[in-house]
Amino acid sequence: MADPGRRPPDRPIVWVNCAVSLDGRLAFARGVRARLSGPEDLARVHRMRAEVDAVLVGAGTVAADDPSLRVKWDVAGLPRGRDPLRVVLDPHARLSPHARVFDRTAPTLVATTARYQRQLPTAVDSVVAGEETIDLGRLFAALRDRGVARLMVEGGARVLASVLRDRCFDRLTVYYAPVVIGGALAPPMVAGPETLGSEDLTVLRLASVVSLGAGFVAEFVP
């Protein structure tokens, strides 16, 4: 994970990463998990995790996929090292106490809100990052204060929307699988508020396109 040219003074370097179908869907209808990444892309993702200080997802992703968010060192082709901090956005106290992110195999931080604070499992840290919704600027500043210099954001659709629309990121990499999912109920890459005009667009510059396995990876910068 190469650093961009500038280092933000008030937040970590933020790298957004996801895998989608050719029509931009993250999963099957109603969020049923779709395994879009092939072995080559999985190796790329785990190498990215190995290079960052923290990996961030939303409570919806934890509920749907129950990821460990740890590095699979054998898949990455790297010697075993330190797993990144697992950061989960849980503004409405939705997380199950039985989720894998609470398995104590890697440090975990839950971002909560003042209205929906809750008791968390032992050894899990928390930070209040808003009143009723997560304030990303506040959270990212708190992560920076905790020593997180590089942050990887993995989703889901609402988290990706918030990070991209707030323009608090430095790189976006998207793996495009050579499949089409279609339908009206499959979640798109980006959810959240409607775009009403060109002033609401998040404008990106294409930095590179690389063939990878059966698909390809496109990299964008703001």
pLDDT of residue 4: 54
In a domain, 212, yes or no: yes
Give me the torsion for CA of 59, 186, 159, 109, rounded to 10°: 20
In a domain, 185, yes or no: no
Average pLDDT over the chain reads 93
Q: Is the pLDDT of residue 192 over 90?
A: no
Token pair belonging to 59: 């409570």
Place of tokens 């998990």: 33
Q: Is the pLDDT of residue 187 over 60?
A: yes
pLDDT of residue 73: 97
In a domain, 128, yes or no: yes
Range of the domain at 104: 13-180+200-221
Percent of the chain with pLDDT over 90: 82
pLDDT of residue 6: 65
Q: How many CB atoms lie within 10 A of CB 191?
A: 15
pLDDT of residue 31: 87
pLDDT of residue 176: 98
In a domain, 161, yes or no: yes
What's the CA gap between 85 and 173, in Å, rounded? Answer: 21
In a domain, 193, yes or no: no
In a domain, 187, yes or no: no
Strand-by-strand arrangement of the 150-155 sheet? 125-128, 108-112, 85-89, 54-58, 150-155, 13-20, 171-176, 215-221, 205-212
In a domain, 190, yes or no: no
Residue 30 belongs to domain with CATH number: 3.40.430.10
Whether the Cβ atoms of residue 143 and residue 54 lie closer than 8 Å to each other? yes
Q: How many domains does the chain have?
A: 1
